[in-house]
Chains A and B, each alone.
Chain A
Amino acid sequence: MAKLPVQFRLNGSDRATFVDPASNLLDTLRRGLGDFGPKYGCGQGTCGVCTVLVDGEPQLACLTLAVSCEGRQIETTSGMADGPNLHPLQGAFMDHFAAQCGFCTPGMLTAARALLAKNPQPSRDEVVEAISGNICRCTGYEPIIAAILAAANAPGARRA
């Protein structure tokens, strides 16, 4: 099958690759471009571990066709820190022990990042709603909610 070129900005860098027309964004990021931040959990859009930002909107990379991302801004957890300086959400996740096995963490951080970019002072209910598409099978939701609420009050949290 003929491959198609696709070009987008990934975590601030211009990247280009060739993909099968049916390739999803998750495989393209992981296998094509080597960004292993987004994970494979279900391939059906139910677990949220592949969540990435496409033009600032949280999207499930396993259900997003790679070719539909032409010319867009893709952001993943791999590009969340500013050099050695962690994003306030990352620091809050560390401080609140908001990860057990760590597999859902990139998707959780991305969902939280999208929330805080739009709603810098979310209520607890709004936080719960924002991560409702992300499964933590270790069931560590409470520390995650606490971390997001704490980050919302930290300086610099709006930096998307």
Chain B
Amino acid sequence: MATMEMRKDLFADERDDNLNVIGKGVQRQDMPGHVTARTRFFDDHAFDGMLHLKVVRSPHHHARIRSIDISAAERAPGVRRVLRGADVPVNKNTLLSLINFGKDDEPSLAVSKVSYKGEPVVAILADSEAQAQAACKLVRIDYDLLPAVFDVEETLKAGAPVVNETYPGNYFEYHERFDHQKLRFGDVERGFSGADIVMEHRYQMSPIEHAPTETNGSIAAPEQNGRYVVHSCAQGLFFALGTTAKIVNVESNQLHFIGGTVGGGFGGKVDTLTEPLAVLGAMLTGRPVRFVLDREEEMLYGSPRGAERIYIKDGLMRDGRIVARHIRSYFDAGAYTRLSSYAAIKCTAHVPGPYWIPNVTSDIYVAYTNRCPSTAMRGFGVTAVDFALEVQMDRLAEAANMDPMELRILNAYRDGDMKPHRRAAKNTALVECVQVAAEKANWPLSEQAKRASSLIGGGVGERAQIPATQLDARGQIGRPDTRSGPVTQVLPAGTSRIAPSKQPVMEGARDGRAAPTQVPRYEPPRPAAPPAPPPYQPAPPPSYQPAGSHPAPPAYQPPPAPPAPPPSAAPAQTQHGAVRFSSVFGTRRR
């Protein structure tokens, strides 16, 4: 068995190496609270005069909003305030603006159109939940139905309805350059032509709802010092804090988030679904505001794990060696980005699975459809492609007439092997995992497979080399019909880094760039005074373009100019001086 390399030199001056609890029972600090029911979840807080917020949701998958009439709802019993998109100070956000990645694309309350069934349009604040729900039924919204698209490949075709006007091609734009995440290593076409067997299969995963027992929600209340306390279900409390501060346009030090006790999350409580409107409601009414999804809303409109469609094409030799692998995958983002752009990056980092293959390419798309936006869930972007890869491995074993365990041991990474991401594999252990699994399952292995080791055979000859690599402009934004373009350039063997092109590839690329979230400036405390409501900002004019008028193929059209955020070419410096999280920029952490 390979011995793990222990990185005790990392943070050596901060370690005391008293980590000796493995194998011992140590009581969790939160357990006494759980068994005595003293644990306080976000909803377990009492406030006098608390209002209840409910949202009116779109009944349509895709529709233009012609008019919204809230007059009857405003007069309904118990109603204290009705909110529309124009009341939200910054009514367009993308979650990863926290790391300055992507463009602001999702409103808190829809203004000119709805892009999925269940999208919030109007919010009602009332004395009781029942009154808020009753008033929701009195809101009259006139819709013009638009054609909807639900399939990840259909939505990328020319002439498909535009789901999300910030991304008019219905794909997330990577590095302002490509309509997908690319990985290029070696020459897969040559690999396929030299292979004994070439095999391609399609894999389709469904969306999955996290279904936490505690539904998403929050309670926001004015504090006496001009700040707002927020009891939140958020899995990432500071993520929710930053997102809320941006949307309601206050310094983040005016918000006092309390949380960390989550009644089941699994990834479904990172989207900050309720906190911004709860805080805005508390600011505008001066009252505590509770915004909690009921079970139906949680199941239908709480964002799920996104569905993925994955195509794997392999070139296989009769002796079981995989010589080329191409992966094409479509991640269903739903109507807005949320965390799907990150899922595709994780997916790209994960291919081609834990196997050394000399020629690898992948094209991973984030596609917008008129479905509920999807988000994080336990290994999102990785588990689905893993399932596809391992089913494919079984099929390859069958095609090569080989034992599936032996096929995996034969192709597994060994220490020192060059990965398509141009990093040497370290601490590899798949060989040993398969050996142990076979032993536990009484699965017979050949003597050769039993003798295999992750420490033997890796990193020698071509296994350690970066091969000459075929480059192409496929999917380059702004250049029509490049999705299946030819090879444009061959990168010499050994090249570990592609110099970024100085040429602009996309006009107006900076437009609509996500506004970075605020960093608190720590001004001296203000005198306690009721905060002024945020200044009224008129809604931007509707920017809808009928689907039929789109030329084929869809040329890039700059999104309508939003209130211009300052252009930020480099990752913003944070207060603590560290360069922000880096993998999406290609910069290195300090």
Residues of A whose CB lies within 8 Å of any CB of B are: 22, 30-31, 34, 36-37, 39-44, 47, 49, 76-78, 80-81, 86, 90-91, 93-94, 97, 99, 101-106, 109, 135-138
Contact = CB atoms under 8 A, between A and B. Distances in A.
B151 interface: no
Nearest to B35: A90
5 contacts: A31-B46, A77-B36, A81-B36, A101-B212, A101-B264
Interface of B: 27-28, 30-41, 43-44, 46, 130, 211-215, 261-266, 292, 294-295
B212 A137 contact: yes
Residue of A22, A39, A136 with most chain B CB atoms under a 10 A cut-off: A39
B28 A39 contact: no
Would you list the 5 A-B pairs with minimal beta carbon distance, nearest first?
Answer: A103-B263, A102-B34, A37-B37, A36-B44, A77-B37
Given A43-B295, A102-B39, A105-B34, A49 B28 contact: no
A77 B266 CA distance: 26
A93 to B, nearest CB: 5
A64 B212 CA distance: 23
B35 A94 contact: yes
Contact of B34 (A80, A81, A99, A135): A99
B32 to A, nearest CB: 7
Contacts of A78: 36-38
Contacts of A137: 211-213, 264, 266
B129 to A, nearest CB: 9
Given A36-B37, A102-B263, A103-B41, A44 B295 contact: yes
Given A47-B213, A94-B27, A138-B264, A76 B37 contact: yes
Nearest to A101: B264
A86 B262 contact: no
Contacts of A97: 28, 31
A93 B35 contact: yes
Contacts of A99: 31, 34-35
B295 A42 contact: yes
Given A43-B294, A103-B213, A138-B264, A86 B28 contact: no
A106 B263 CA distance: 12
Contacts of B46: 31, 34
Nearest to B41: A103
A76 B37 CA distance: 9
The interface residues of chain B, by DSSP majority, are classed as: loop
Contact of B264 (A43, A93, A103): A103
A93 B34 CA distance: 9
Contact of B263 (A39, A44, A109): A39
Nearest to A38: B37
B30 A102 contact: yes
Contacts of B294: 43
Given A42-B295, A44-B295, A103-B264, A49 B31 contact: no
A80 B33 contact: no
Contacts of A39: 41, 43, 213-214, 263
Contacts of B38: 78
A137 B295 CA distance: 14
B38 to A, nearest CB: 8
Nearest to B214: A103
Nearest to A109: B35
Given A101-B263, A138-B264, A41 B36 contact: no
Contact of B35 (A34, A40, A41, A86): A86
Contacts of B295: 41-44, 47
Contacts of A77: 35-37
Nearest to A36: B44
Contacts of A22: 130
B218 to A, nearest CB: 14
Given A47-B295, A78-B36, A101-B213, 19 more contacts: A30-B43, A36-B40, A39-B41, A39-B213, A41-B214, A78-B38, A93-B34, A94-B32, A97-B31, A99-B35, A101-B263, A101-B265, A102-B33, A102-B39, A103-B213, A103-B214, A103-B264, A135-B213, A137-B213
Contacts of B41: 36, 39, 103
A94 B264 contact: no
Contacts of B43: 30, 36, 39-40
B77 to A, nearest CB: 10
A136 B214 CA distance: 11
Nearest to B299: A42
Contacts of B213: 39, 41, 47, 49, 101, 103-104, 135-137
A103 B211 CA distance: 13
Contacts of A40: 43, 215, 292
B217 to A, nearest CB: 9
Contacts of A34: 46
Nearest to B43: A40
B377 to A, nearest CB: 13
B94 to A, nearest CB: 28
B438 to A, nearest CB: 26
Contacts of A135: 213
Contacts of A101: 212-214, 262-265
A81 B33 CA distance: 12
Contacts of B130: 22
A37 B41 CA distance: 10
A130 B463 CA distance: 58
A37 B265 CA distance: 20
B35 A105 contact: yes
B301 to A, nearest CB: 15
A28 to B, nearest CB: 13
Contacts of B40: 36
A109 B39 CA distance: 14
A123 B262 CA distance: 33
A90 B32 CA distance: 8
A31 to B, nearest CB: 7
Nearest to B38: A78
Given A34-B46, A44-B295, A106 B32 contact: no
A97 B25 CA distance: 10
A135 B39 CA distance: 18
Nearest to B39: A102
Residue of A30, A37, A44, A137 with most chain B CB atoms under a 10 A cut-off: A137
A78 B33 CA distance: 10
Contacts of A105: 34-35, 37
B36 A80 contact: yes
A31 B51 CA distance: 12
Nearest to B30: A102
A49 B34 CA distance: 13
A47 B294 CA distance: 13
A103 B41 CA distance: 8
B263 to A, nearest CB: 3
Contacts of A104: 213
